Amino acid sequence: MVRFACLRIAFVLLICAAGSAGRLSAQELERATLGDGAVAPLAEATPLAAPAPSSPNTAEIGRARERRPDALVPLYVSFSAFQVLDTHSTWRAIDRGAVEVNPVLKGVVGNQVGLVALKAAGTAGLIYASEKMWKRNRTASIIFMVAANSAMAWVVQNNYRAVR
């Protein structure tokens, strides 16, 4: 059962990423208003005039470009969940006599508030870096978060294996 844990975690991550790959949203139709403020039926709506050909509006291009990739938010949530699971598994392992092998966390692992603060700061820093990254390279930010999630999934699995 343990040997399939990585496979299950990878499957869950894949489902999260695939589920958020395309947002489903209905297009909303606006009804044309008549001069007296009444709403005209959809069949009688007048078509909108096409804009005069001109150079593209840089504000519209900027807004379209600034849209975050749909896969990032679920990756942020799953990374945060892995951080919580890592903290829980670390505390369980320490309570059962295990020793922290990460030199960065060795001095903090005994202090629960310090460990939570360090984990929160690390998570916030990683999300901040990914947010900065997607504005220049969307694919790289997704790959970065998938790699971070994979690493944390391995750490969590390893910690819970050590607890047994």
- Does residue 58 lie in a domain region? no
Judge whether 66 and 137 are in contact, CB under 8 Å. no
Q: How many domains does the chain have?
A: 1
Tokens of 19: 């589920």
Please compute the mean of the pLDDT values over residues 129-151 and round it to a whole number. 95
What domain range is 93 assigned to? 69-164
Q: Could you tell me the pTM of the whole model?
A: 0.60
124 vs 43 pLDDT, higher one: 124
Judge whether 75 and 12 are in contact, CB under 8 Å. no
5-18 pLDDT, tens digit per residue, is 444 544 444 444 44
- Does residue 123 lie in a domain region? yes
C-alpha separations of 84 from 11, 60, 78, 145, 156 in Å: 20, 39, 10, 16, 9
Q: Which residue has the tokens 């001095």?
A: 107
78-133 pLDDT, tens digit per residue, is 999 999 999 999 999 888 888 888 888 888 988 899 999 999 999 999 999 999 99
- Does residue 7 lie in a domain region? no
- Does residue 3 lie in a domain region? no
